[in-house]
Amino acid sequence: MVRSAMLVVAATAVLLAGCDDSSPAAPSGSSVTVSALLSPANEVPPVTNTESVARGAAQVTFLINRDSAGAITGATATMYFQLTNLPSGTVIRGAHIHSAPAGVNGPIVVDTGIAPANPVTLAADRQEFRFTGVSVSAATMAAILANPSAFYFNVHTNTNPGGVARGQLSVVG
């Protein structure tokens, strides 16, 4: 258990590198990075079955596009997350950002593309994932910049289709 916690802390430290400017007036092409520590206890309701020992971390870097007046016109995301303590063979059926504060479930607003129709099966009890070029709408990007903690990243498995590990977003830097 201590080793798993140390792995999550170490992975998070690596994930938390680098952030440009998250201000609404930042120029086009600026970036902002958010992160979240993923835990089954943060799910609604909390996970209490055999997957309750899962842990992870997520980092999302948004490359923000703006018009000449500085208004956000959209963004592209690079989404990275890692999971540990899930058995080899666990089927991941979703990983994305939802809009909702802690303790509340909300709709998906930014998706990695992992879905029940194209799941990923874990090859080991610790695995990393990276998705690049993920489109983010202007409205969603503006809302995340305005209040990142009103959004969460979570991962879904076949055993826990509502979510196995979740964490609220916070700006890095």
Domain of residue 88, CATH code = 2.60.40
Number of independent structural domains in the chain: 1
pTM for the structure as a whole: 0.84
65 compared with 125, residue with greater pLDDT:
65
Domain containing 167: what range? Answer: 2-171
pLDDT confidence band for 28 (50 / 70 / 90):
low
Are residues 110 and 134 in contact, defined by beta-carbon separation less than 8 angstroms? yes
Helix (H, G, I), strand (E, B) or coil at 61: strand
100 CB neighbour count, 10 Å cutoff = 16
Name the strand (E) or helix (H) holding 11. helix 2-15
